[in-house]
Amino acid sequence: MKLLLTLLATAVINIIPEPAQIQVHNGFLKKSRTDRVQCTIDHDAGIAPEGYTLSVTRKGVKIVASDNAGIFYAKQTLAQLVQPDGSIPCVEIKDWPRFAYRGFHVDPCRHFMPVEEVKKHIDILASYKINRMHWHLTEDQGWRIEIKKYPKLTEVAAWRTEFDGSVYGGYYTQEEIKDVVAYAAERFITIVPEIEMPGHAISAIRAYPWLSCTGEEVKTFYTWGTPDISLCPGKESTFEFLDDVIAEVVQLFPSEYIHIGGDECRKNRWEHCPLCQARIKELGLVSDEKGTAEEKLQSYAVGRMEGILAKYGRKLIGWDEILEGGLTPGATVMSWRGEKGGIKAAEDGHDVIMTPGTDGMYFDHFQGDPKVEPHTIGHYTTLEKVYAYDPVPEVLKKIGKAHHVQGVQANTWSEYIYSDSQRDYMMYPRAFALAEIAWTQPARKNWESFRKRVDAACQKLDERGVTYHIPIPEQPGNSCDNLAFTDKATLELKTTRPEKIVYTTDGSEPTAESAEYQKPLSFTESTVVKTASVTAYGKVGPVRTIHINRMAPLPVVPENEWFSGIKARRTDGKFLSIDDLQGREWREVDGMSRLRDLVTLEPYDRNLPDSTRFYAAEAECCFIVKQTGVYRFSSDSDAVYIDGKLIIDNSHEQVKRYSRYDHELVLEAGVHKAKAVFIFNVKGGWNNLRNKTDIMMLRPGDPEWHSLKAIEL
């Protein structure tokens, strides 16, 4: 009877990435026999590099591959075939990768990533047949690799002083790097190290100021974005430094390719540097339709790097800016600003790795409504968008250059990743979609099938205690956690991909068994709704709390309190939140006509010199609403008060961007008062002098937000 049940049971097949060919046969290999695995390396069996055949019968498992990587990948597939009872379904699989380069990228520079975290992702992603890790090791905000010849890179450049005076940083010793490289190699992952030049190098310049054009003292950057100071390509000593660094890098990393960065280099200092200009003259570089003389100077610097790498038997890879001013002959291009750079490079016969942010390859983007998701750098990249990406552009197929697309990579930049679990949340499950587009033949891709297989992969993450994104219920349009109504309210919910939604209205935390959301909910009394998605395997995602407030309209302001225009005041100093503003001495600011001018009381300077004057300012005005009704307010300023009531407080957030505190009120027709508070500071690396401090208002039934306007009497 037991045997019969086993025979009749249907196998659950959840392989990521989907293999090229799979036939499922009747029957299972019993758990007791699953150690019968025979592996053969056969160079003459016509099996592609990294490919394999995997045959599971009732007797045992046979794996054939042409290399050790193929054996390793067959074993990963085998592990994913294991059923809950430990048996393995009988299958015949023939499999090989679509791309030779299947990469993920991590950025330990903006926020550090301990060795154990690096290994964790290597271990997870190797099991999904990812074979490259691009390790972004140097940045404006921190240098992370020990270089013995330049000890200040780790003593000084690895650390930055944040706005609040705390010191942040870290680095990998050469011993740690060797250990990680070996760990990755055991899992058939090659680590491609990135040493950034000539931009994104402020941390190195802090340690060794002679690397810049002016030699001035600088700080390791503590905000995101790009400073104006770059390495000086006019000086030979810059290239001697880079050569020395690369000499140690190649001892640590066996990778054929070394990434030299090359992106987002500001060249304005070069225009005024006698040495840079002398080099431009000596090389006969002129500005023309192909680029400016300074762009060509960058191209020269990249060419020098290619020479240095060639000396050590290595090849150059860089971001697509290395195309500007002419591409070095042997370079491989990583196309990040869309596919344009990659297409151009491939047309010219260069190899290319596709990693376009616009097409889903940036895992630092939002995965749902910014009003409910944790802070990110912006943009919008759902799991489905990642999955939909095809790294080979049609135009390259048409002209026979598709073979230059060597592979695909997704990047997880860490500006807004403040913890290890946040990194996990951003990477998974999107990295599973990356694994499939990197390995699986396009004809075998199938979103509906993938969506189900992702659940199995996520359950494996649960076993390891790794966080991942589960959609948070959103409202159509913009989500809002503070809704208001007078008689009756409705709440509509959805998710970025189909998942069951549950909710409670009694203040309790939702569970998988809570009421299931089926249709818009109606309310006649003030209610706190707690809602979450529940996956097909019963896991409850992050809980969202929505306050639905029944309220009488806030009365208008008495006429004797009305005033024209904007009343503004400021106080100078470093403040973290509105709590720090209690008891401050304020002075009036004249002539402010718009709330958005709160950010203009000091000039914006990306370099944040020591002379920067930090301040807080607030602006008050009266405004009119024409009809009694529900008004929604939104602002990226630190705080918003309507009729004296604090409704938005962004000032306690870790980073003040993309406010998640939109708030509805019911207002009586007539004149009301608003106040916006702005604190110029840097929290979580964000210089919020770039914020918009308007108070935006959404009127009843109106699809468009309006900026709140002061009355003129």
Q: Which residues bind ligand ACM (CB under 6 A)?
A: 263-264, 319, 336
Q: Are 672 and 642 in contact (CB under 8 A)?
A: yes
**Dist. CA 580–CA 582, nearest whole Å:** 6
**Toward ligand ACM, which CB reaches closer, 94 or 337?**
337
> Least Å distance between CB 209 and ligand ACM?
24
Instruction: Show the beta-strand stretches assigned E in 190-302.
Output: 190-197, 257-261
To Zn ion, the closest distance from the beta carbon of 227 in angstroms equals 15
Please, what is the minimum distance in Å from the beta carbon of residue 417 to ligand ACM?
14
CB closer to ligand ACM, 147 vs 334: 334
CB closer to Zn ion, 234 vs 629 = 234
Residue 232 partner contact from ligand ACM, Zn ion, none using kind-dependent CB cut-offs of 5 to 8 Å: Zn ion
Of residues 341 and 429, the one with the C-beta less far from ligand ACM:
341
**Cβ–Cβ contacts within 10 Å for residue 425, how many?**
22
Binding site for Zn ion (CB under 5 A): 213, 232, 234, 273, 275-276
Residue 599 is given by DSSP the state: G
Q: Which does 336 bind (CB under 5 to 8 A by kind): Zn ion, ligand ACM, none?
A: ligand ACM
Cβ–Cβ under 8 Å, residues 118 and 171:
no
Q: Which residues contact 184 (CB under 8 A, 6 or more apart)?
A: 122, 126, 133, 190, 191
Q: Least distance in Å: CB of 416 to ligand ACM?
A: 13
Work out what residue 546 binds among Zn ion, ligand ACM, none; the CB cut-off runs from 5 to 8 Å by kind: none
Q: Supply the DSSP string of 239-253, one letter for each residue.
A: HHHHHHHHHHHHHH-
Q: How far is the CB of 39 from Zn ion (least distance, A)?
A: 56
Q: Which is nearer to ligand ACM, 336 or 631 (CB)?
A: 336
| Cβ distance to ligand ACM smaller for residue 95 or 351 | 351
CB 345 within 8 A of CB 327: yes
C-alpha 469/C-alpha 488 separation (Å) is: 33
Residue (301 or 521) nearer to ligand ACM, CB: 301
276 binds, among ligand ACM, Zn ion, none (CB under 5 to 8 A by kind): Zn ion
When CB distances are held under 5 to 8 angstroms depending on the partner's kind, the choice from Zn ion, ligand ACM, none that residue 273 binds is Zn ion
Q: 649 phi and psi, to 5 degrees?
A: -135, 100
Residue 117 binds which entry of ligand ACM, Zn ion, none, CB below 5-8 Å type-dependent? none
Measured from the CB atom, is 236 or 509 closer to Zn ion? Answer: 236
Q: Which is nearer to ligand ACM, 263 or 420 (CB)?
A: 263
Distance (Å, rounded) from C-alpha 63 to C-alpha 56?
Answer: 9
101 binds, among ligand ACM, Zn ion, none (CB under 5 to 8 A by kind): none
Which residues does 582 contact at the CB level (< 8 Å), separation at least 6? Answer: none
CB of 431 to ligand ACM, least distance (A): 17
319 binds, among ligand ACM, Zn ion, none (CB under 5 to 8 A by kind): ligand ACM
If the CB atoms of residues 365 and 530 are measured against ligand ACM, the closer one turns out to be 365
Which partner, Zn ion, ligand ACM, none, binds residue 67 by CB below 5 to 8 Å per kind? none
Of the pair 162, 263, the CB lying nearest ligand ACM is at 263
Task: State how far Cα 86 lies from the chain centre.
Answer: 37
Nearest approach in angstroms of CB 322 to ligand ACM is 11
- Please, which residue, 176 or 264, has the CB nearer to ligand ACM? 264
CA dihedral sign of residues 217, 223, 226, 228:
negative
The whole-angstrom separation of Cα 89 and Cα 134 is: 36
607 burial level (CB within 10 Å; 0-12, 13-18, 19+):
middle
What is the chain's percent helix, strand, coil content, to nearest 5?
A: 25, 25, 45
CB of 336 to ligand ACM, least distance (A): 4
| Whole-Å CA distances, 260 to 134, 194, 306, 666 | 11, 6, 9, 56
- Characterize 492-506 residue by residue with b for buried, 16 or more Cβ atoms within 10 angstroms of its Cβ, and e for exposed: ebbbbbebebbbbbe
When CB distances are held under 5 to 8 angstroms depending on the partner's kind, the choice from ligand ACM, Zn ion, none that residue 231 binds is none
Q: Are 145 and 138 in contact (CB under 8 A)?
A: yes
State the binding partner of 163 from Zn ion, ligand ACM, none, CB within 5 to 8 A by kind. Answer: none
Cβ 82 to ligand ACM, closest distance in Å? 39
* Residue 425 interacts with, from Zn ion, ligand ACM, none (CB under 5-8 Å by kind): none
The span from the CA of 266 to the CA of 294, in Å, is: 10
Q: 234 touches which of Zn ion, ligand ACM, none (CB within 5 to 8 A by kind)?
A: Zn ion
The label of the residue with tokens 């230059």 reads 404
Minimum Å gap between C-beta 159 and ligand ACM is 23
Nearer Cβ to ligand ACM (194/649) = 194
CA distance linking residue 162 with residue 681, whole number of Å: 11
Query: Smallest gap, in angstroms, from Cβ of residue 406 to ligand ACM?
Result: 18
Side-chain-side CA neighbours of residue 87 (13 Å) = 20
Q: How far apart are CA 345 and CA 339, in angstroms?
A: 10
Q: In the structure encoding, which two tokens stand for residue 436, read together? A: 């499939």
- Per-residue tokens: 669: 């027709």
- Supply φ then ψ for residue 407, to 5 degrees: 165, -165
* Shortest reach from residue 209's CB to Zn ion, in Å: 13
CA pair distance 682, 602, nearest whole angstrom: 14
Taking the complex as a whole, the smallest distance from the CB of residue 295 to ligand ACM amounts, in Å, to: 17
